[in-house]
Structure 1
Amino acid sequence: MSAFFSPRLWVLIVLLGSAWACAPPGTPGTGGQPGSQDPAVIVDQLVQGLGDMSAEFEDMTRPNQVQAWVDKLVVKVQPGEDMPQIGLMQEGEVAEYLYQRTVRKTEFMLRGQRFIDPWILIKTKDGVMGWVHEGGVRYIAPNYRDFLGMGGGSTDPAARTRGPAGDNSLSQDFLIVPGKRVGPVRLKTSETDLVSLFGPGQVSRGQVALPDKREEECTIVWAGNANEFRITWKDDTRSEIKAVYFDQPRSQWFTPQGLTVGLAASEAVKVNKAPFSYYGFNWTYSGTIHSWRKGSLAPYEKYFYAVLSPRPDAEGQKLLTKYQGNQVFTTNAEGVEHLHMVISRIVVYLD
C-alpha cells in the first residue's frame, strides 16, 4: 500500500470499493460514454458526489499529495513567513498532505504572482514535517482508481492520456496538444474518421456557440457526456478541422501542462508558471485570455485560446463592474481573488 494513503482515505476506499463491486459490467468499447455502465465512470461520479455532500466528505476526497510548482519552496516549522525555515521543496517534488490548513490566509508572491492562501501541513520525501504556503503547490488526487485495479488514476497530465478500465484504444486518448492533436484527432481527421474512431453512436451533429453569440454547425463527439467536444469544419465536406471546442468541466481532457476546463484561474497560473492577462467580462470576448506572457503555455498561443468565467463571492459582486468590457487585466489585479474565476472554455486549432 502506498505511504500516501491516509487513514481517513480508507473510509472513502471502502465506499468506492462497494460501488465498484456492485456496478454492472462495462460496455466494451464505449469507454464510459452514454449508455455505458463502466465502473470507473461510476466511481468518478461517486467521488464527485461525495465531495458535494458535506464538508466532511469534501475533506475526505481532498487530494492527499501536493507537488511544488516553484523551485526552492520554503518549508517552515510553523505557519507564517517569519517562522524558522526547516527545509526546501524543489520544483516538481511531491510531498504528503497531512490534512491541516490554517484558517488565516496570508499573501505570498511566487514567480510574480500574488497568492492569498492558507498554510498547509506536509511531510516531505525525507520525512520532514512542516508548513508550506498553499500557493506554492498543486494538489495531486489520490490514486483510488489504481488502488481498485481500474487504472487511469494518475493526475499527472503527462501520464493521463488513456481512459478508464484499461481501454487502450485511440478513442481513450485525452491529451490536448494545441496545433497538433486532440487525442487521436488531427487536422485532416474527417467526420467519417470520427465515426470509425469513436463509434457511430458517439458522433452526432449540432451547433456550437461562438463569441459573437452566433451559432455554427458542428460535429459533436460524446454529446451530453463530461468528455464531450465539438468540432467545426473548414467546408461542407467535413474533411478538415477548423476548431475544436471544450466546454465541459470535470472532463478528462488536459494539455500536457495540466490546463483543463473547470480549472481555477489561480491554478492556471501554476500550470502556466507565470501570471497571465485576460479581457474584461460582459462583451464579445468576455474573459478571453489575452496573453500567457512568458509562461509555459505561451508557445501555444497561436494554436488555442481559453476563456475565464467569474464565480464571484459577495465582495466580488461589488468589484465585478470594474472588470468589464474591452480592457485587459492581469491575474494580479486588486481584488481579483474574490471573482473566483475558472477556465470555462478551451478552443484548439490544429496545424
Structure 2
Amino acid sequence: MDKLALASRLATIALVALAGTAFAQAPDLLACTGPFAREADEAALIKAFGAANVQRARIEIGEGEKAAGAILFPKDKKRRLELIWRDGKTRRGPSTIYIRQGSAWAVAGPAGERLAIGSALAAVEAANGKPFSILGFDWDYSGTAADWQGGKLEKAFGGCRLTIRFGYPKDADAKALDRLSGDKEFSSADPDMRLVKPTAYEILLSWPD
C-alpha cells in the first residue's frame, strides 16, 4: 500500500471514529422511519447501528411480562433503546420502541419540540396544543398519558402512537398526590397535577397491530 492510499485509509477511519463520538454526545431523534419503520427488521438495525450495538433480548413490557426484542447500545445508558418485535421468530416489524430512564434519545413534537426523559408535563401539554388525559399514580399504569384528546401529539408520528409515562418528584405535595392516585383518568390541566409537577420517565412509539 503506497503512502497516499494509506493516508486516505487512515483519514476514513478517523472520520468514522469522529462520527461515532458525535453520536455518543448527541443521540438522535427517534422516529418511525428507517430502521424503525413498520416493516424493518433486525438486519436494518444492524446496518444502521452496527452488529456490536444490537443485542437480542427479552424485553420487559409490564406486569412481569417479556417479549422478544432488541436492545441498541446495551452498554451505553445514554444511547440505549429497547424495542419489541411484532414477529419475534423472524425478528421483523418493530411493535413498540422504548426510551427509558437514563437514555438521551428524544422524539420531536409537531413544532420541533424535543420531548425526552425529564420533560415536564407542562412542556408536553404545550406540544400537544391542549390538555390531555393522564392516568393516576401509584399503580401498574401509573402516570401514563392515556388520551391526547385530539391534540397535536395524537397524529404527529407518521402512523406510530406516542405514549409518555410520567413520574413525580420525591418532594411532591403529598395531599395532591393522594388525590391523583389510582386507576382513574385526570386532566393534565388539573390543579393537583400542576402542583405535583410530573416529568416523563418513559417514552414509547408504537406501531398499531
Paired with 1:323 and 1:246, the residues of 2 have a C-alpha distance of: 25
Paired with 1:320 and 1:247, the residues of 2 have a C-alpha distance of: 23
The one-letter code of the counterpart of 1:299 is: K
Contact 1:249 1:262 (C-alpha < 8 Å) held by counterparts:
no
Contact 1:226 1:251 (C-alpha < 8 Å) held by counterparts:
yes
Q: Would you say 1:274 and 2:130 are equivalent positions? A: yes
Q: What is the percentage of aligned positions where both structures have the same residue?
A: 22
TM-score by length of 2: 0.76
Match of 1:194 in 2: 45
Paired with 1:184 and 1:218, the residues of 2 have a C-alpha distance of: 14
Match of 2:201 in 1: 344
Paired with 1:296 and 1:282, the residues of 2 have a C-alpha distance of: 28
Paired with 1:205 and 1:39, the residues of 2 have a C-alpha distance of: 22
Contact 1:309 1:341 (C-alpha < 8 Å) held by counterparts:
yes
- Report matched runs for 1:1-351 at 5 Å: 28=17, 31-32=20-21, 41=25, 174-177=28-31, 180-181=32-33, 184-223=35-74, 224-235=76-87, 236-249=89-102, 251-257=104-110, 258=113, 259-300=115-156, 303-313=161-171, 316-350=173-207
Gaps of 5+ in 2: 1-13
How many residues are matched? 188
Gaps of 5+ in 1: 1-24, 33-37, 42-163, 165-171
Paired with 1:39 and 1:239, the residues of 2 have a C-alpha distance of: 25
Contact 1:227 1:253 (C-alpha < 8 Å) held by counterparts:
no
Contact 1:227 1:248 (C-alpha < 8 Å) held by counterparts:
no
TM-score by length of 1: 0.48
3-state SS in 2 of match to 1:286: coil
Contact 2:118 2:201 (C-alpha < 8 Å) held by counterparts:
yes
Paired with 1:207 and 1:317, the residues of 2 have a C-alpha distance of: 36
Paired with 2:201 and 2:15, the residues of 1 have a C-alpha distance of: 30
Paired with 2:69 and 2:51, the residues of 1 have a C-alpha distance of: 16
Contact 1:250 1:262 (C-alpha < 8 Å) held by counterparts:
no
| 1:39/1:175 CA distance change after superposition, 3 Å | closer
Greater RCO, 1 or 2 (C-alpha within 8 Å, sep 6+): 2
Paired with 2:24 and 2:44, the residues of 1 have a C-alpha distance of: 27
- For 1:30-79, what per-residue CA distance to the aligned partner results, in whole angstroms no more than 9, with x for missing partners? 633xxxxx5972xxxxxxxxxxxxxxxxxxxxxxxxxxxxxxxxxxxxxx
**Which stretches of structure 1, 4 residues or longer, exceed 6 Å deviation after superposition?**
none
The one-letter code of the counterpart of 1:176 is: L
The one-letter code of the counterpart of 2:166 is: L
Q: Whose radius of gyration is greater, 1 or 2?
A: 1
Q: What is the RMSD computed on CA atoms of the aligned residues?
A: 2.8
